[in-house]
Chain A
Amino acid sequence: GQQLNQSPQSMFIQEGEDVSMNCTSSSIFNTWLWYKQDPGEGPVLLIALYKAGELTSNGRLTAQFGITRKDSFLNISASIPSDVGIYFCAGLRRSQGNLIFGKGTKLSVKP
């Protein structure tokens, strides 16, 4: 079946530290999307990636589309308390048209 392996499942870090999370798959994707979700709210789109090797930044966030097209990484630099939440990766294959979601990375930041 279609699966995205997202890791780590959870992270507990100190404010100011950098964070890294990733998603891997055995299948190729055309698009990678990264979302952040706060409790009781919908996922908010952070970064979208469309080309293998693409590196895109959004403030302190940087994401990369893996060269093999089977993985993607999200980095957060100098974390702050409001970075707390669940981060989801999602991959899209144009032939299918539906997003496949990773299981999420729960980020906790200690002030």
Chain B
Amino acid sequence: DTEVTQTPKHLVMGMTNKKSLKCEQHMGHRAMYWYKQKAKKPPELMFVYSYEKLSINESVPSRFSPECPNSSLLNLHLHALQPEDSALYLCASSQIQGALSATNEKLFFGSGTQLSVL
């Protein structure tokens, strides 16, 4: 099983709404990631959790708030977003983040949440 599951698939929200994106993996991976992807561009890293602790925040605005309740789950809480935040939000996981040790490190992506902010 190399599956990363994201919900919802599509989300439309207003600028005053609060919503959450959810991600789940059962591969025993200890690193989980949030990426943002605009159309025709590569994914851009937002956050990395390593062993349930936030290890990287790529200067993401505070209207995006990540949460890692346990090693299998990753959430992204959204509040007061702007229309320019509309994008495909991708969750990913890997065995270990980066790694001194990983000789077989792979990053697996979910199918994404297509977010539209009106």
Which residues of chain A have a CB within 8 Å of any CB of chain B?
31, 33, 35, 40-45, 48, 50, 86, 88, 90, 92-99, 101-104, 106
Contact = CB atoms under 8 A, between A and B. Distances in A.
Contact of A41 (B43, B99, B111): B111
Most B-side CB within 10 Å, residue of A41, A43, A48, A93: A43
A44 B98 contact: no
Size category of the B interface is 20 to 34
29 contacts: A40-B114, A41-B111, A42-B4, A42-B90, A42-B92, A42-B110, A42-B112, A43-B43, A45-B107, A45-B108, A45-B109, A48-B104, A48-B106, A50-B104, A88-B43, A92-B105, A93-B98, A94-B100, A94-B102, A97-B98, A97-B99, A98-B45, A99-B45, A102-B42, A103-B41, A103-B42, A104-B41, A104-B42, A106-B40
Interface of B: 2, 4, 6, 40-43, 45, 48, 56, 88, 90, 92, 97-100, 102-112, 114
